[in-house]
Structure 1
Amino acid sequence: MLGDTQMLIDRPAAAQSARQPAVKCILLHVQDDTSLEERFETALSLARASSGHLRCLHVTPIEAYVAFDTFGGIFVMDDVIDALGDAEKQLRARVEEKLRGEDVTWDYVEITGNVVAQILKHASLADIVITGREPHRTDFAGPAIGILGDLLQRSRTPLLIPSSKGSPFDPTGPALIAWDGSSEAADAVRSSLKLLQGASEVRVLRVDQERSEAFPGTQLLEYLSRHGIHAELTVNTNSSGGGDDYVAGCIMSQAQRMGAYLVMGGYSHTRIGEFLFGGVTRTVLQDCQVPLVIAH
């Protein structure tokens, strides 16, 4: 059986739906993959809604330029350099052509280096990072979940991952906060306040696993209210004793029913534990059908 309870806090005097997100510095990770269009449209929607500046960052992995011979030597391949240079020019021309017709301020940065390190460097003065689930040229870029895991573990800026199968991201639409009382969940909420302030509706969902909370759900509602965000708390009673897959399923189903983007903390367990034994973070990163805002 699944039991639901709700708790409401009085709405602040100013109508929340009349406000806009306060996200002013948006970092878009640009790479030529199948989710580029979703990321691009998400970035534009957020920049328009918040009157923010969009920085497009394209990182060419340093590994793309080198090869190893059978004796352990390293050499640079001239034909690869030419091919990568042409591909980068075409990608930049495509993105800039689209941006010139948009009513947002933007710039485009190209750099060669370690993908994760460069995104983290540029994210240090960004309000949010928009990235995807899959890398380009996986032969040297590494597995998508690996890259996302590195970003999530090391970044102090929340990641926004658009859905490739669900509805487009609406910065002023409803938001669902997945709450488990952990410091990671609290960090995700705090780092996403600028975005949440523009949401038309905010709900907090806790799937009760009979664990102690460092920060109770009612305290979260008070915290949000002090920042001008009205929220409702729903507690789903996990009487069946379901594990992480059950919890992840409840969270994603609720977000889909609301038509909301999802805010959650990532890796409340160690990352190696999540990798070996599964976990809510890993399941959501792989299967989430709604836009996801996640922070560690």
Structure 2
Amino acid sequence: MKSVLLYIADDAGLEARLQAALDLTRSLGGHLHCLRANPYSSQVAFDGVTGMSVMYDVSEMTREQDRKLRAEIEKRLAGEDVSWDYREEYVDPSRGLSKNSALVDIIVLSSAGGNKENALPLGILGDVLLNTTTPVVVQPDNVQKFDACGPALVAWNGSFEAGNALRAAVPLLKMSSDVHILTVEEDKDHDLPQLAASEYLAYHGIKSEIHSPPPGRDSVEATLLAEAQKRNADYLVMGAYGHSRAREFLFGGVTRSLFKNSPVPLVVSH
């Protein structure tokens, strides 16, 4: 794991994403790819005089904002001790991130929490996770760091998605001071037993501790967050969208809830 892809947008989560990406890149001894994906094309639409004027004004404003944002980010990165590059593409963010994920090892995006309008980051998260095989760091807006060397909590339910997330996170878990595996009973059957995750990590030289809280009234989300706090976890590894994305959007779900409410960064895969 050497290549980190950072989504650049002038939004409430940019600072947290940037700091997390820098921390990750340093820890991995890797390279940071910054992607500014903007759906507004610089082309002017000839749809009558009024329409053309509006499109021109929007295009000019967008290009000016992009120039300022790029200058600010490049100035910041010039003073950092990591290698980096900056790329701009006129494309929908989800499409741009998915396309550029083919040769990167991990993507840094924002959570869907905080006081901001969360429909956009939630949509980007869902689209990217379902269209790539690259793990994603979901960074809360108010957490401006990613400590790969701190304690980690792995959410394990024996599912295909949990297995993908665990395999993807191995390079990070190798740096972790403590790895905790939390098994949570859910009302569905999975093929992989509780010990499978710990045994798999042991093959990679990673020691882990299994925790199996007794079934109770708390939701899976509440149990995960309580255990993360108890173990002082700096990040949480989990599979995403075990149910269909549409079902989770309509009826809630662990993935959607944690994307909105987790106080610690998530490392997720579908």
Q: Are 2:166 and 2:238, in contact at CA under 8 Å, matched by a contact in 1? A: yes
Q: Which amino acid aligns with 2:34?
A: C
Deviation at 1:210, TM superposition (A): 5.9
What TM-score, normalized to structure 1? Answer: 0.82
In structure 2, C-alpha distance between the alignment counterparts of 1:199 and 1:75, rounded to whole Å: 55
Give the drift of 1:167. 6.9
State which of 119, 125, 128 in structure 2 corresponds to 1:148. Answer: 125
Superposition deviation, residue 53 in structure 1: 0.4
- Indicate the residue corresponding to 1:249 in structure 2: 222
Query: Corresponding residue for 2:239?
Result: 265
Using CA pairs below 8 Å that are at least 6 residues apart, which structure has the higher relative contact order?
Answer: 1
Amino acid paired to 2:35: L
Question: Are 2:112 and 2:119, in contact at CA under 8 Å, matched by a contact in 1?
Answer: no
Checking the alignment, whether the CA contact within 8 Å between 1:174 and 1:199 is kept in structure 2 is yes
Secondary structure of the residue aligned to 1:208 is coil
Shift of 1:49: 1.3
Contact 1:66 1:76 in 2 (8 A): no
Distance 1:167 1:262 in 2: 16
Name the residue aligned to 1:9.
none
Amino acid at match of 2:61: A
SS in 1 for 2:73: helix
After superposition, the C-alpha distances for 1:257-296 in whole angstroms (9 at most, x for unaligned) are 3332011001111111111111111110111110111110
Structure 1 position 165, deviation (Å):
3.1
2:165 is the alignment partner of 1:191: no
Give the aligned partner of residue 171 of structure 1: 148
Matched, 1:91 2:69: yes
User: Is the contact between residue 221 and residue 254 of structure 2 (CA under 8 Å) also seen in structure 1?
Assistant: yes
Match of residue 191 from structure 2: 214
SS at match of 1:131: strand
2:248 — aligned with what? 274
Inter-partner Cα distance in structure 2 for 1:214 and 1:196: 23
Residue 43 of structure 1 and its aligned partner are, at CA, apart by: 0.8
For 1:288, give the aligned amino acid.
S
Match of 2:107 in 1: 129
Alignment partner for residue 205 of structure 1, among 182, 205, 208?
182
* Matched AA of 1:40: L
Aligned residues: 264
SS at structure 1 position matched to 2:241: coil
Q: Identity of aligned pairs, percent?
A: 40
- Contiguous gaps of at least 5 residues in structure 2: none
1:162-201 per-residue CA deviation (whole Å, 9 max, x = no partner) reads: 2223573201111100111100100111112122211111
Compared with structure 1, are the counterparts of its residues 64 and 184 closer, same or farther at alpha carbon in structure 2 (3 Å cutoff)?
A: farther
In the other structure, the counterpart of 2:29 is: 51
The secondary structure found in structure 1 opposite 2:212 is strand
The match for 2:261 is 287
Structure 1 position 155, deviation (Å): 1.5
More strand by share: 1
Consecutive unaligned residues of structure 1, counting only runs of 5 or more, are 1-22
TM-score relative to the length of structure 2: 0.90
Supply the distance in 1 between the matched residues of 2:124 and 2:196 (Cα, whole angstroms). Answer: 33
Which moved further from structure 2: 126-135 or 283-292? 126-135
2: CA distance, partners of 1:152 / 1:193? 18
Structure 1 residues 279, 63: closer, same or farther in 2, change over 3 A? farther
Give distance in 1, aligned partners of 2:83 and 2:262: 30
1:120 aligns with one of 80, 92, 98: 98
CA distance in 1, matches of 2:228, 2:144: 11
In structure 2, relative to structure 1, the CA distance for the partners of 1:204 and 1:134 (3 Å cut) is: closer
Instruction: Write the distance in 1 (CA, Å) between the matches of 2:42 and 2:250.
Output: 29
- Which whole-Å deviations, capped at 9, do the CAs of 1:112-151 have from their partners, x for residues lacking one? 012111101111111100011359xx99x96321221111
Secondary structure of the corresponding residue to residue 276 of structure 1:
helix
1:212 shift after superposition = 3.3
